[in-house]
Structure 1
Amino acid sequence: MALQKLPLEKAFMLVEPGPVLLVTTNDGRKNNIMTITWHMVMDFTPQIALTTGPWNHSFQALRDTKECVLAVPTVDLAEKAVAIGDCSGADVDKFRGFGLTPLPGLGGKAPLISECLACLECRVLDYVEPYGIFILRSTQAWMDLERRERRTFHANGDGTFRADGETLCLRSLMEDKLPPGV
């Protein structure tokens, strides 16, 4: 048998979600950005779940304003994204400190990030307190169609990351099962 026992506390690394996201909020006074890897798509609308808690400066803004933007950085922004996650918005203006450009969205005060490949404006539908899970519904989607770098990156959970690679097109095997417009 080639399988070897893995410590249970490392098992999450096998199913770590992707890609790394930058979550923007505005608490009514200032913009903030946090880096997050704990999220998942729940359906095609899209509804998205993400996990965070009061240890993150953005947590209270998410609870109070019930809005955020999920910005998708690419590999050229990987070092900035990690550094953003290693400091607090209570101490740092992350847009200015990391040379990122906030853009207004259509649905609220949380800003888009100009340098990212894509941004999803979201409303908080629910907060599942015992688990620290926010359920979000995207209200607007934006993508930089001229951006050359499109590879996203994913956390392995141990301080290492992997970049997207080759795309496999298996659409012909699924065409009758895909939702309309996909």
Structure 2
Amino acid sequence: MAKRSFPLSKVYGLLEPGPVLLLSTAHKGRINAMAMSWHTMMEFEPPLVGCVVSSRDFSFTALKATRECVLNIPAVELAQKVVDCGNSSGRSVDKFAAFGLTPAPASLVAAPLIAECHAHLECKVVDTRFVNRYSFFVLEVVQAWTDPACKDPRTLHHRGWGAFMVAGETIRLPSKMK
């Protein structure tokens, strides 16, 4: 089978690791939510998540200052709100009010949970060694929440330039992993 050269500027669309998240922060009396797809699991226990938050993003300042956030996991039903959050800046838009998102109190961080999401990971920044160079934060999940009524959420996976895949069928194969 013949392969074609692929533009390097689009490689990230082949590698996006997981669902699009709504990262929420609270800083100086303002809450914000940003769409984020550049994240990766780094460790299981304690759960560590690495993520890129661009220094151009309004959330960057809040995350760097407060060293805490919530990673909210939306399902496909929130797709348009996720895109709206990604296409606007918290500098000029109250995204919770503008896009009908409901802030709910977290238990261990000041940043809010987004009630419409099916899962939430309350996080604290534990490593900033790569922030200045790569805008890469290492977060420790200190509390996790899921909605028991949402059995098989269909999550969004960013492919780039407004294209998303939606998680589909679950298959189970023999594995020695538990």
TM-score, with structure 1 as normaliser? 0.91
Aligned to 2:26: 26
Residue in structure 2 matched with residue 62 of structure 1 by the alignment: 63
Residue of structure 1 in register with 2:167 after alignment = 164
Counterpart in the other structure of 2:43: 43
Gaps of at least 5 residues in structure 1 are: none
> C-alpha separation between the residues in 2 aligned to 1:7 and 1:97?
36
Cα deviations across residues 43-69 of structure 1 (Å, max 9, x unaligned)? 213110110222111111100100000
Stretch moving more, 11-20 or 99-108: 11-20
Distance 1:160 1:117 in 2: 22
The answer as to whether partners of 1:23 and 1:35 remain within 8 angstroms in 2 is: yes
CA contact (8 A) 1:47 1:138 kept: yes
Is residue 111 of structure 2 the alignment partner of residue 102 of structure 1? no
Output one character per residue of 1:27-83: Cα deviation in whole Å (capped at 9) or x when no partner: 031111011111111121311011022211111110010000000000000110010
Number of residue-to-residue matches in the alignment: 175
Q: Percent same amino acid among aligned pairs?
A: 45
Q: Distance in 2 between matches of 1:16 and 1:161?
A: 10
What SS class does the counterpart of residue 156 from structure 1 fall into?
Answer: strand
3-state SS in 1 of match to 2:64: helix
Gaps of 5+ in 2: none
After TM superposition, give the deviation of residue 2 of structure 1 in Å.
Answer: 2.3
Note the aligned Cα RMSD (angstroms). 1.4
- Aligned letter for 2:40? M
| TM-aligned CA deviation for residue 124 of structure 1 | 0.4
Amino acid at match of 1:85: G
TM-score calculated relative to the size of structure 2 = 0.93
